[in-house]
Amino acid sequence: MVYARKNYLSRQLGEGISIFNPGDEMITKPIVNMTLQKLINDLFLNYDIKFIHSYLAKTNNGVLALMDIKENNVERLKNFHGIISDGVHKVKLAEENINTLFLGLVNPDDKKHFEKISSFQDRIITIKVPYILDYNTEISIYKNKFGENIVSRFLPGVLENFSKIIISSRIDLISPVLRGWIKKTEIYSKYVDKNLLLLKMDVYTGKVRNWLTDEDVRGFNRQTRLALVEESVKQGTRGFSGRQSLNYSQ
C-alpha cells in the first residue's frame, strides 16, 4: 500500500532538497534526536547504535543547491570535495554514504573559486543559463521586482522599448536564418531595423506580425521555425545581465 505523509519544507534543512544562500551560516554541529536515541537504546539494550547525522543526510538521494558560489558557499563547496570524490561523509566516528545531486548557480566571475581544484573538473557538468530573450518576460520581471505600478511611471510603449533595447544586446546582430527567410528587407523599413532585430524579438515572443506579406508568412514554415529555435539556443550569453537591466530600469 502507498501512504501519504506531510512534507515540511525548510529552505536550508528540507527533506530531499536544501537551498543555501551565500550569507547563510555554516552548519557544523551534527543533528541528533535524544528521544529517538533513547528508543533505540531501549530497543537494542545497548548504547552502541547512535542516531546522528549531518545536514547532508537530509538531501540524500535528493538535491542540494548553492545559490551563488561566494562567501559561505565557497567553503561549503570545498567541504563537498571528499563527498564528490568518494560519496562518503564522516560525522564524528560515523560515516554517511551520500548520493546527492549538487547544483551551484555560478556567475562567470565566481568560477575562480573552483576552477583550480583539479579533482572537481571531471566531476562538474556545466549548464549555461542564457539571458531572457522574450521582452514580455523581461517586463514581467520588472513588474515582479518593482510592482505592477511600474508601467504607470513610463509613457505608453517606453517600457516595452526599453526591454527591447536590453534584449537586443543579448542577440546576434546578423541572423542568417532571418536573411534566408526575409528576402526583401527594404519593404519593411517602416517597421523594423535593417538587421531585423525587432522582427526577431517579435518571433521570440511567439508573434507573427500582420504587416508581413503573404509570401513571407508562408515562408515562415516549420523548417524556418526550427532553424530560429536552434539559433536562439546559441544566444543570450552576452549583453546586459538581468541584474544590470533591473538597475537601469529604476
Query: pLDDT in tens for each of the 250 residues of the chain?
Result: 677 767 666 787 877 888 999 988 888 888 888 998 899 888 888 888 888 888 888 888 888 899 888 889 888 888 887 787 777 888 887 788 888 888 888 877 778 888 777 777 777 787 888 889 999 999 999 999 899 888 888 899 899 999 999 999 999 988 999 989 998 888 999 998 988 999 999 999 988 888 999 999 999 999 999 999 899 888 888 888 888 888 877 6
Q: In 161-191, which positions are buried (b, 16+ CB within 10 angstroms) versus exposed (e)?
A: ebbbebbbebbeeebebbeebbeeeeebeee
pTM value is: 0.67
Query: Which H or E run includes 91?
Result: strand 88-91
**Dist. CA 127–CA 130, nearest whole Å:** 10
The answer to whether 26 and 75 have CB atoms below 8 angstroms apart is yes
Instruction: Kindly tell me the burial class for residue 10, based on how many C-beta atoms sit within 10 Å of its own C-beta (0-12, 13-18, 19 or more).
Output: exposed
